[in-house]
Amino acid sequence: MALRSTIRQPDPVAGAKILGLGSSQPDRIVTNDELAQRVETNDEWIRSRVGIAERRFASAEDSVVSMGADAGSKALADAGLSPTDLDAVVVATCTMPTPIPNAAAQMADRIGVNGIGAMDVNAACAGFCYGTGIAADMIRSGTARHVLVVGSEKLSDWLDMDDRSVCIIFADGAGAAVLGPAETPEDVGVGPVAWGAAGDLVSTIGIDEKNYLRQEGQAVFRWATTKIAPIAMEALDKAGLTPADVDVLVPHQANLRIVEAIAKKLRQHGAREDLVVADDIVHSGNTSSASIPMAIDHMRGAGRVRSGDVALIVGFGAGLSYGGQVVVLP
């Protein structure tokens, strides 16, 4: 018979909050005109149908790991923490060159810490919200005090540059957030995650036999413009908030028309007229799991959002996967 009848658990805290943010983009700017030299497209079509003016493509030296480590280091500095203050790294990515080794262990090492929990989460463009949900629960339960959540993607490795329906959309970059404990309920800055998956629609986005990303654009567009606003509303409801409480809306930057459709639905449900809506896709393209933290970091840098603002984040993409939550900006 066992000598112990109970198994000790870590001491829980009230919840989690974001302590710092950072982002990283490769240097090379790719304009719509540059892409129009390769495929049959034009600046006007891309701006009006997708909302992108330019995007960044990584060099051969840039990787999911290097861009993520750069964003993560900046987020740590923003939080006023050292690498050794971290207990875990959670990396949302779907563009590692191989399934193993994962990105998180290498990223932690590059940032300057070993011996901490390190895992990748693949929920495609919903990955940052999944990672944030996992990290917040790790902190709330007492498993970890400080967790770095990174969204990092090198989508250019997976693009058929002769397929105009995808090569004009996707791009490279990373965004990161450091989460830490909130000791009191008033201090909690990450709401419960509202998430799910639609595996019945798996065939709409994927990687083909030539390792190229393909998507049924119209089908995903219809799905995103009908199903994602209700998920955002569910995340608000789970946090005990209403659309009027939201200062900043940050949907995954897949297409500016999808972003605007989600914002319109939120306004129909009482969001304020002064709601700030992320439009980072204009200059960053669609960077999958990186798009949400990168958009927030860029909006902070531009002075469009403030510390203490209530942000509603919601990601969606291949899987199909979706998820979102309320976060208070650091």
As a whole number of angstroms, the distance between CA 212 and CA 204 comes to: 14
Report the candidate in 126, 108, 125 with the shortest Cα–Cα distance to residue 117.
108
Peptide bond into 12 cis (omega under 30): no
Active-site residue identified among 129, 146, 286, 298: 286
294 class by beta-carbon count within 10 Å (0-12 exposed, 13-18 middle, 19+ buried): buried
- Cβ count within 10 A of residue 209: 5
Kindly give, in sequence order, each residue whose CB lies less than 8 Å from that of residue 308, ignoring residues fewer than 6 positions away: 328, 329
Asked if residue 329 lies in contact with residue 19, where contact means CB atoms within 8 angstroms, the answer is: no
* Residue 286 annotated to the active site: yes
* Residue 194 CB, nearest approach to ligand UT7 (Å): 18
Residue-level length of the chain: 330
* Residue 215 CB, nearest approach to ligand UT7 (Å): 6
As a whole number of angstroms, the distance between CA 203 and CA 224 comes to: 15
Binding mask 155-184 for ligand UT7 (x = CB under 6 A): ---------xx--xx---------------
Q: Which of 129, 179, 254, 305 binds ligand UT7 (CB under 6 A)?
A: 254
**Residue with Cβ nearer ligand UT7 (14 or 201):** 201
**Residue with Cβ nearer ligand UT7 (50 or 292):** 50
Binding mask 272-291 for ligand UT7 (x = CB under 6 A): --------------x-----
Binding range to ligand UT7, per CB under 6 A, among 89-97, 185-193, 250-258, 269-277: 250-258
Tell me, what DSSP letter sits at residue 256? H
Per-residue burial over 15-29, b if 16 or more Cβ lie within 10 Å, else e, is bbbbbbbbbbbbeee
- For the four alpha carbons of 253, 256, 261 and 264, in that order, the dihedral sign comes to positive
**Residue with Cβ nearer ligand UT7 (58 or 182):** 58
Active-site residue identified among 94, 125, 129, 167: 125
Enumerate residues 124-143 that contact ligand UT7 by CB under 6 A: 125
As a whole number of angstroms, the distance between CA 70 and CA 100 comes to: 21
Binding residues for ligand UT7, how many (CB under 6 A)?
Answer: 20
Binding range to ligand UT7, per CB under 6 A, among 106-114, 177-185, 240-248, 254-262: 254-262
* Residue 131 CB, nearest approach to ligand UT7 (Å): 16
Radius of gyration from C-alpha coordinates of the chain: 19
As a whole number of angstroms, the distance between CA 329 and CA 146 comes to: 16
* Residue 207 CB, nearest approach to ligand UT7 (Å): 13
Give me 123's structure tokens: 């929920």
Asked if residue 284 lies in contact with residue 192, where contact means CB atoms within 8 angstroms, the answer is: no
- Cβ count within 10 A of residue 328: 18
Active-site residue identified among 32, 122, 129, 252: 252
* Residue 167 annotated to the active site: no
Enumerate residues 26-45 that contact ligand UT7 by CB under 6 A: 41, 45
Residue 157 φ/ψ, nearest 5 degrees: -65, -20
**Residue with Cβ nearer ligand UT7 (238 or 283):** 283
- Of all residues in this chain, which one has the CB nearest to ligand UT7 in the complex? 217
* Residue 288 CB, nearest approach to ligand UT7 (Å): 6
Q: Which of 47, 49, 267, 269 binds ligand UT7 (CB under 6 A)?
A: 49
Enumerate residues 185-244 that contact ligand UT7 by CB under 6 A: 215, 217-218, 220-221, 224
* Residue 298 annotated to the active site: no
By the criterion CB under 6 A, which residues form the site for ligand UT7? 41, 45, 49-50, 125, 164-165, 168-169, 215, 217-218, 220-221, 224, 254-255, 258, 286, 317
Residues that are catalytic: 125, 252, 286
